[in-house]
Amino acid sequence: MAEPAIRPLVQVRGLSKVFGDNPLVAMERIGQGHSKDQILEQTGQTVGLNTIDLDIQAGEIFVIMGLSGSGKSTLIRHFNRLIEPTQGQITVDGTDVMTLSEKQLEQFRRHKMSMVFQHFGLLPHRTVIENVGYGLMVQGIEKSERRKKAGAWLDAVGLDGYEERYPAQLSGGQQQRVGLARALCTDADILLMDEAFSALDPLIRSEMQDQLIALQDRLHKTIIFITHDLDEALRLGDHIAILKDGLISQVGRPVDILLRPADAYVEAFVRDVNRARVLTADVVMQPPSCRLTNENLEEALRQMRGEEKDYGYLFKEDNFRGIVSRRAIEAEISKSGLKVDLIQLLEKPMSVHPGASLEKILPTTLGHPYPIPVVTDDGDFQGVVSQKDVISALTETRG
């Protein structure tokens, strides 16, 4: 997971928003480093956002997390300028959003960014299919094409057959699928999701998260996702920004947030997170401690004795082949007669997926005496996870 060096798709620089009749006074105080509460007391102006800087890469899910009043909903509305900033700049794919005229802004919203809302924001007087095709209708695309495309996206979110229903006839989860299909239907590169799953039952929410991840694997959109739910942020986010009182507390990968909280606020936040569910094998895995490349039994045994390891990991031309125990080699060597090949002593490789949660791999690691290999679907060996690794990840407080 190396940071890509290319220019971020969305760049936010020095973005501030003050609510009130005299924002400039408040801006001055922001410049002097006063806090939100101080400014409210001194000037009566409410600071919504305080000098926000963010870089969002193309194709990632960027989660902005904060409690109510943190300014996260204000922030997301700046990307498509549903709210005008008091100061600052947002650049999307080289375009300064703040300089767009009303007409340009309409075009920008139609083609560049679409949005999913907490309470769905569906048009109650239009059918489901009309809602999905709403973005296209706004663009002036004719009805038959609209219906075709909207129908396809409705299929994609699993709502075929609901075309002629009205939103009020659907459940919350179904309505949000319509909202998602509507946002995808315009083929915009960037998807803004404002607490998109917060109004749903926990079970439905997790289903929707799965569906979003599955869709994202296919579509590779750039998704800016707002939530107040840290579990959701950790689950979905490639990067997470934590917002407090209009200020960014920390930006980083989920594991950074979890294991290396930047301040007491974030730490308090992550304290209650169920790490077993959030941390994955790739986060805690280590390089294999005993990498065997030679199939010679004596050679392997010597290497294992040298590294004081009970188990060795055999690779052949960089491909992981399996695990062999020192005891098996010693037994083989002490046997008289023809020695078998090292390959034949390999135990049946037991492996886990790098994305698997600790919760899931814990039984496997406990059930085997050796560190479990972490292998991708393509068979790529990534590292090993030991019982010790898992337990220490679950219990350590600071990274």
Partner 1 sequence: MAAARPDTPYEMEMVMAVENWLTTFPEMERADLIAIRKALDAGYRAFSRSYGDLIESLFDPLLYFLVWFEKLLLSTPWWLVILIVVGLVYGASRSPKLLVGVAVSLLLIGYFGMWENTMRTLSIITVCTILSITLGIPIGIMMARSDRTQAVVTPVLDIMQTMPAFVYLIPVVMLLGIGKVPGVIAVVIYAIPPVIRLTNLGIRLVDKEVLEASMAFGATRRQRLWGVQMPLAMPTIMAGINQTIMMALAMVVIASMIGVKGLGQPVLKSITNQYFTMGLFNGLAIVTLAIIFDRVSQAYARRTQRHLQGNAHG
Positions that interact with partner 1 (CB under 8 A): 77, 80, 82, 105-111, 113-115, 117-125, 134-135, 137-139, 166-169, 171, 182, 186, 192
| Token pair listed for 244 | 């407090």
211, 176 Cβ separation under 8 angstroms: no
State in angstroms the smallest separation of the CB of 105 from partner 1.
Answer: 8
Q: Which lies closer to partner 1 via its Cβ, residue 137 or residue 215?
A: 137
Q: Which amino acid is at 366?
A: L
State in angstroms the smallest separation of the CB of 22 from partner 1.
Answer: 18
Q: Which lies closer to partner 1 via its Cβ, residue 223 or residue 314?
A: 223
Strand partners, 19: 46
Q: Which lies closer to partner 1 via its Cβ, residue 22 or residue 274?
A: 22
Q: Answer positive or negative: Cα dihedral of 19, 23, 28, 29.
A: negative
Q: Which lies closer to partner 1 via its Cβ, residue 110 or residue 353?
A: 110
Q: Which amino acid is at 323?
A: I
The C-alpha atoms of residue 379 and residue 237 are separated, in whole angstroms, by: 25
State in angstroms the smallest separation of the CB of 144 from partner 1.
Answer: 19
Q: Which lies closer to partner 1 via its Cβ, residue 172 or residue 349?
A: 172
State in angstroms the smallest separation of the CB of 172 from partner 1.
Answer: 11
Give φ, ψ of 292 to 5 degrees: -95, 135
Q: Which lies closer to partner 1 via its Cβ, residue 23 or residue 179?
A: 179
The C-alpha atoms of residue 336 and residue 314 are separated, in whole angstroms, by: 24
State in angstroms the smallest separation of the CB of 263 from partner 1.
Answer: 32
Instruction: Say which residue the tokens 């030991």 belong to.
Output: 386
Output the CA–CA distances (angstroms, integers) from residue 7 to 94, 292, 374, in the order listed.
9, 41, 32
| Token pair listed for 132 | 């999905």
The C-alpha atoms of residue 108 and residue 265 are separated, in whole angstroms, by: 36
Least Cα distance to 353 among 288, 280, 269, 246 occurs for 280
Helix (H, G, I), strand (E, B) or coil at 84: coil
State in angstroms the smallest separation of the CB of 82 from partner 1.
Answer: 6
State in angstroms the smallest separation of the CB of 192 from partner 1.
Answer: 7
Q: Which lies closer to partner 1 via its Cβ, residue 131 or residue 250?
A: 131
